[in-house]
A and B are shown apart, each in its own frame.
Chain A
């Protein structure tokens, strides 16, 4: 007999004790609106990589929550994030996706703003009342902007904790992939950008730790690509692997190479670049890189990353944002990164092989998106919503982190359970229930 129960222990969304999450969470437009208010307008959200705006006046057009913003570098190197809407009558003052400006001139009536957003002139200043203060009518400024290892984050919440505190223990794990050489990583091309008919959390959950889908969803590229470790090697590697969960819902899954492979398989990173890593990383972080086949993770709420092998001793670092559009749609942005110091030929190969796998036409991507869209389609009806999603394989493990884990955060073995996913939803639930 079918079990008809909603995840009903609290407000009906997430039941950690029973490993259930309501389907509404993944399709509802009402929940989406609440997410914008309770999560995306309150916490740190990724905006852009510093190397996308290297020079003074460079900008990219992005979003912070539902609001369109301009991310611009000023001549003193400060990064401003401004609501992309004129204070006069709302027109977008910056219409291209990227470029370089001396200042922002609204094409509608000519209100002109500096790169900092300060209003210089309305061009009809002579008609303004005496008590009109220009400095009170600048482009709305995102109050908090901070950079972590090249990643620019913004928050609409002036009182949000510092970014370093927000990232907390996950930083130790992500830093070797975001910045492991003296000059750091750079974005190799503008991001792939596309829309998919799925809730943004489906992607965020998949990347925080969904080892169970790899061999079934991705049977295609794993079977075909000669560069990949043999399927058997990949499967047994799960024994050496672990998930990490930290406070605030961040998490990642580290999958190591199986023992007994040919020696060259263990040369996971470019030998020419490895000496640079010891200048930046702690010894234990170096050990993190060593023999790692894949790391994949999500920084709450919607920034994910994966480092995966795309050629012999070639690793593509892919940074990925799942932007909520509605309860049933998201926009995906995907960047490929490599060490700034890497030779041009390496970067070209990593970029091409990176988006061959993960990007709008990626051979991994295409199967993920197809199945996610089917889940959205099949879940978005009253009958299906009576049957919450299953996170049961988290339950035997979620209260028993590894006791001798010597690195930050809480570690869980084996790596192919749903612990990190359920912890992500636990944090989501916390944020959604917390008062303003």
Chain B
């Protein structure tokens, strides 16, 4: 095993990371946005990207659709969580985030861990009652302080050539 190969997290630590990801998904599904935001770090970078369809031999071209620091993230949340300030999320979307295929790795910093996960986020709302899924692979950077875990970076790579039901107003 070379120096550069990341070391996978095992055992109790893996279960903590898994629990963290499940918990923050549940907070979003229950629309406990304040509690969710409290799980992010001050220097949080939250990104969602989509990809242009490219020839297999050509370089990938991703483009950003959400790219927020804490201020931007908070303003998004302030909008969708306040019934007076949102149309897209009032009535609120019904969502269910299924997080799976979690792998976690140690990093050079002892308190930091990278985690990849698959996301299947279901969403139904009055203008699209049939509902649909957002499917993505996520790369997270998690920080542990004592027994507290926090999300420092999230990159969500959508597996969609195109989104089909209007704007993305929820978090993934």
Contact status B64-A373, CB under 8 Å: no
Is B53's CB within 8 Å of the partner chain A? yes
Find out whether the CB atom of B163 lies under 8 angstroms from the CB atom of A194.
yes
CB–CB A360/B54 < 8 A: no
Could you say which of A195, A223, A352 contacts B67, with CB atoms under 8 Å apart? A352
Q: Do residues B163 and A223 form an inter-chain contact, with CB atoms below 8 A?
A: no
* Docked pose: A374 CA to B167 CA in angstroms: 13
From A97, A224, A365, give the contact of B53 (CB < 8 A): A97
Tell me, yes or no, whether A221 is within 8 Å of chain B by CB. yes
Residue B32 CB within 8 A of the other chain? no
Q: Which residues of A contact B61 (CB under 8 A)?
A: 98, 190
Tell yes or no: B66 within 8 A of A by CB.
Answer: yes
A140 CB, min distance to chain B CBs, angstroms: 22
Q: Is the C-beta of B41 less than 8 angstroms from some C-beta in chain A?
A: no
Inside 8 A of A363's CB, which chain B residues have their CB? 75-76, 79
Residues of the B chain whose Cβ atoms lie less than 8 Å from the Cβ of A369: 88, 127, 166-167
Does A260 sit at the interface, judged by CB under 8 A? no
Question: What 1/0 flags go to B82-96 for Cβ under 8 Å of A?
Answer: 101111110000000
Contact partner of A361 (CB less than 8 A), chosen from B78, B85, B87, B169, is B169
Q: Distance (Å) between the CB of B126 and the closest chain A CB?
A: 7
Name the interface residues of B138-172: CB closer than 8 Å to any CB of A.
162-169
Q: Which residues of B contact A194 (CB under 8 A)?
A: 162-164, 166-167
* Cα-based distance from A62 to B125 in the complex (angstroms): 30
Q: How large is the interface on B (under 10, 10 to 19, 20 to 34, 35 or more residues)?
A: 35 or more
Does B72 lie within 8 Å of A356, measured CB to CB? yes
Please, how many angstroms separate the alpha-carbon atoms of A344 and B40 in the complex? 28
Task: From the candidates A95, A98, A360, name the one contacting B167 in the complex (CB within 8 A).
Answer: A360
For the complex, is A197 an interface residue (Cβ under 8 Å from B)? yes
A417–B75 Cα distance when bound, in Å, is 30
Please name the residue on chain A nearest to B86 by beta carbon: A220
Q: 1/0 per position for A362-393, CB-CB distance to B under 8 A?
A: 11011111110110010000000000000000
Q: Report the nearest B residue to A367, measured CB to CB.
A: B87
Contacts of B82 in A (CB 8 A): 220
Chain B neighbourhood of A373, CB < 8 A: 127-128, 166
Which residues of A (147-196) have their CB < 8 Å from a CB of B? Answer: 189-190, 192-196
Chain A proximity of B58: nearest CB distance (Å): 5
Say how far A211's CB is from chain B's closest CB, in angstroms. Answer: 17
| A209 touches B (CB below 8 Å) | no
Q: Mark A316-360, 1 if CB is under 8 A from B, else 0.
A: 000000000000000100000000000000000001100110011
Count of residues in A whose CB is under 8 Å from the partner chain: 41
CB proximity of A40 to chain B, nearest CB, Å: 20
Q: Is A85 an interface residue (CB 8 A)?
A: no
In the complex the two chains form, what is the Cα distance from A97 to B89 in whole Å? 32
Separation of A366 and B163 alpha carbons in the complex (Å): 13
- A252: shortest Cβ distance to chain B, in Å? 24
Cβ of B63 within 8 Å of any chain A Cβ, yes or no, is yes
- Interfacial chain A residues near B162, Cβ < 8 Å: 193-195, 331
Q: Could you tell me the distance between the alpha carbons of A195 and B163 in the complex, rounded to whole angstroms?
A: 6
Chain B residues whose C-beta falls within 8 Å of the C-beta of A365 in the assembled complex: 167
Out of B68, B126, B164, name the residue touching A374 (CB < 8 Å). B126
Question: Is B98 interfacial (CB 8 A cutoff)?
Answer: no
Query: Hey, what's the 0/1 contact readout for B54-72 against A, CB within 8 Å counting as 1?
Result: 1100100101111110001
Tell me the smallest distance from the CB of A107 to a CB of chain B, in Å.
Answer: 11
Given A193-B162, A219-B85: A355 in contact with B65 (beta carbons within 8 A): yes
Chain A residues with CB under 8 Å of B21's CB are none
User: How many Å from the CB of A377 to the closest CB on chain B?
Assistant: 6
Q: Which of B55, B67, B84 contacts A99 (CB 8 A)?
A: B55
Q: Is B52 an interface residue (CB 8 A)?
A: yes
Closest chain B CB from A427 CB (angstroms):
27
Q: Does A217 make an interface contact (CB < 8 A)?
A: yes
Partner of B52, one of A190, A195, A217: A190
Report the minimal beta-carbon distance from B122 to chain A, rounded to whole angstroms.
17
- Asked if A75 lies at the interface with its beta carbon under 8 angstroms from chain B, I say no
Q: Shortest distance in angstroms between A106's beta carbon and chain B's nearest beta carbon?
A: 14
B37 within 8 A of A: no
Within the assembled complex, what's the spacing in Å between the Cα atoms of A100 and B58?
9
Further 8 A-B residue pairs, CB within 8 A, beyond A96-B54, A361-B66: A96-B52, A96-B58, A97-B52, A194-B166, A197-B166, A352-B67, A369-B167, A374-B127
Give 19 pairs: A residue, B residue, CB < 8 Å, sorted on A.
Answer: A95-B53, A99-B58, A100-B58, A190-B52, A192-B65, A195-B164, A224-B75, A224-B78, A224-B85, A355-B64, A355-B65, A356-B67, A360-B65, A361-B169, A362-B167, A367-B86, A367-B87, A370-B167, A374-B126
For the complex of A and B, the 6 pairs showing the least CB-CB separation, nearest first, are: A373-B127, A220-B85, A366-B167, A366-B88, A367-B87, A366-B169
* Residues in chain A within 8 A of chain B (CB atoms): 95-100, 189-190, 192-197, 217, 219-221, 223-225, 331, 351-352, 355-356, 359-363, 365-371, 373-374, 377
